[in-house]
Amino acid sequence: MTRLNSIAFILICSTGILTTLAYGTVHQPVIAIFYLLICLQFLIFAADSLFGGILEFSRSRLQIPLILLGLYGVFQSIPFGTISSSGDIPAIPRTISIEPFATRVVALHIFALSSFFLLCLSTISSAKRLRRIVGLITIFGAVYAFFAILQSVLSPEKIYGIYKPSAGVPFGSFVNRHNFAAIMEMTIAVPMGLLFVGALRSDKKLLYVVAISTMGAALLLSGSRGGLVAFLVEIVVLIVLTRKGATAKGRSALSLKIALSFLLIFAAVGGAIFVGGDTSLTRISETVSSDDITSSRAQIWNTTTKVIEHGLPFGVGLGAFPQAYTMFDPAGGYERVEQAHNDYLQIVADAGIIGTLLGAVFMFWFFREGIKNASVVDSFRRGSAIGAFAGCTAILVHSLFDFVLHITAVSIVFLTLLSILVASGRNYDDDVDEYDEPKRRSRRANVTPIRE
């Protein structure tokens, strides 16, 4: 591997960390820097391919729905004729999107995420790199969780002790505690996958248990109900995918994993109570009785269904949901609603039938990839695949209650886990596994080299 390729890999690995620490990368100046970082990564990768005379790219079909969604956004913003002018009002372009500028912005953002996904898939080209990115996620998750716990004690209302959001309940580096919980759901899943599979040496198991407990405590301390539900689903997925059959040995192993799950949950709950007192867990139920309109998801979802009916079959336009919502808002615009608090409803509202089909295709390919790679021979790659699959599944569950995938940092970490899932299904020349039988090196799936 060349030096340029290594630099591109380092930048790709650091993207999830940087976007998370930069308040989740939701402010426009930071998003602009994120775009520049993606361009830099792409240029370095292209230069390496040019000078090395070989281009490696992933053939994973999971890229296709994301790219097509961006292209559909461009299509929604194309004018098809104009609305007749009246008096001094000039003719207005007739587009599918009711807010074409916002749709073009979202399409650009999707293309940036697609580029990152392509680069991430292409640069994880060895078992050594797979181990490094898995280790980085584990270390970052534990350190970031520890920082968030300290901040919740020392400066609960300010991020980094300097920035006090005007709205929302901050946690970690996020203005919205639910987005922090989403990051924890993904970072905690990877080491749990390795632990459940048994891909860790004895001298590392205690360190991983401490890291998992720290991340679990931070997740519970955030007070996110959606995060808690997603975390529990994540544990169920891990147990199901690592069971070993109906034999006595398999039942014994399953019992041990269930006991381990309860132990990890107990450690996380104990840590949250120790740090946050009684309020650390009761905060989860506070929003049930809240009068804040942003907490009234049932009302928002009901209004979103009206937006869907209005926009069918093509949708109101990617990024145009806030404008469409105002037409049916029962509160008369008293509070501006930017998101549907359900990523599934919002994709249907924004992209109509096309968005629904693309989402369904992605889900089908995702679950097929996860089930296939959960049975690879190499224990480390199997644990990485199961952990990444469980983390992504947790986000898909959390998306039923919040808009986590609309946050740049969450999307980046989600795509990183998807890349780990795909990369774990490949065979590498440098596979080293002291637990499993010798590897079969009959294929190197999903990566296609093009030489001069």
Report pLDDT for 26. 92
User: How much is the pTM?
Assistant: 0.88
Nearest CA-CA partner of 392 in 213, 241, 211? 241
Tokens read off for 51:
């000078």
37-85 pLDDT, tens digit per residue, is 999 999 999 998 888 877 777 889 999 999 999 999 999 999 987 776 5
247-302 pLDDT, tens digit per residue, is 445 555 666 667 766 666 666 566 556 555 445 455 555 544 444 444 478 889 99
397-408 pLDDT, tens digit per residue, is 999 989 999 999
To the nearest whole number, what is the mean pLDDT of the chain? 85
Task: Say how many C-beta atoms besides its own lie within 10 A of residue 288's C-beta.
Answer: 8
Rg (CA), the chain: 23
The number of C-alpha atoms within 13 Å of 167 and in the hemisphere containing its C-beta is: 6
Tokens read off for 106:
């979202």
Nearest CA-CA partner of 19 in 140, 197, 131? 140
For helices 3-21 and 100-123, give the axis angle rounded to 10 degrees.
130
Strand 54-58 relative to strand 447-451, pairing = antiparallel
Largest CA distance in the chain: 83
212-226 pLDDT, tens digit per residue, is 999 999 998 888 888
Output 369 or 165, whichever has higher pLDDT: 369
The two counts, helices (H) then strands (E), for the chain are 15, 4
Report pLDDT for 429. 79
Nearest CA-CA partner of 153 in 217, 216, 207? 217
Report pLDDT for 74. 96
The C-alpha angle with vertex 216 and arms to 371 and 163, in degrees rounded to 5, equals: 115
Neighbouring residues of 10: CB distance < 8 A, sequence distance ≥ 6: none
Cα 423 to Cα 101: distance, rounded to the nearest angstrom: 36
Element (DSSP H or E) covering residue 258: helix 248-276
Report pLDDT for 283. 56
For residue 441, pLDDT over 50 is answered with no
414-424 pLDDT, tens digit per residue, is 999 999 999 99
The string of DSSP codes covering 181-226 is: HHHHHHHHHHHHHHHHHT-S-HHHHHHHHHHHHHHHHHHHHHT-HH
Cα 357 to Cα 393: distance, rounded to the nearest angstrom: 19
Count how many residues are written for the chain.
Answer: 452
Pinpoint the alpha helices (H) of 289-448: 297-311, 321-326, 343-373, 379-398, 408-423
